[in-house]
Amino acid sequence: MARTPAELVGARPEPPFEITFDDRTITALPGQSVAAALWGAGILAWRTTRGTGRPRGAFCGIGQCYDCLATINGTPNRRACLVPARPGDAVTTQEGNGHAELSV
């Protein structure tokens, strides 16, 4: 008889919920960071670099490297590995420094 780890500890996880990434609906689990939810959906990059436009996603996973910056609910430069995913979050690809409207 195979049992899951959740069954062994008697965990009662809350149900998954939906967030969007670039208008694509993805499923997130309670307790996941935005980066973990994106990874779980097979999305590995959600930012481009300023100079060359190269794709970036999570690198260190602990908020030290800033590679995982994303625009979350309209706010740029959020470290996706540190932001807990919440139902209805809207995540969009961040291009460059996230403040294109300030460019000259």
Mean pLDDT of the residues in the chain? 87
The 10s digit of each residue's pLDDT in 33-54 is 999 999 999 999 999 888 888 8
Q: Is residue 76 part of a domain?
A: yes
Burial class (CB in 10 A: 0-12, 13-18, 19+), 16: middle
Tens digits of residue pLDDT in 52-72: 888 888 888 888 888 899 999
Report pLDDT digits (tens) over 76-96.
999 999 999 999 999 999 987
pTM of the model: 0.81
Query: Where in the sequence is the domain holding 59, given as residue range(s)?
Result: 14-96
Sheet bearing 24-28, strands edge to edge: 24-28, 17-21, 90-92, 69-72, 75-79
Q: How far apart are CA 76 and CA 69, in angstroms?
A: 8
- Please indicate, yes or no, if residue 22 is contained in any of the structural domains: yes
Domain count along the chain: 1
Q: Is residue 64 in a domain?
A: yes
- Residue 94: strand, helix, or coil: strand
Residue with tokens 């149900």: 15
Instruction: Specify if 89 maps to a domain.
Output: yes
Does a structural domain hold residue 44?
Answer: yes
- The CATH number linked to 52 is 3.10.20.440
Residue 2 covered by a domain:
no
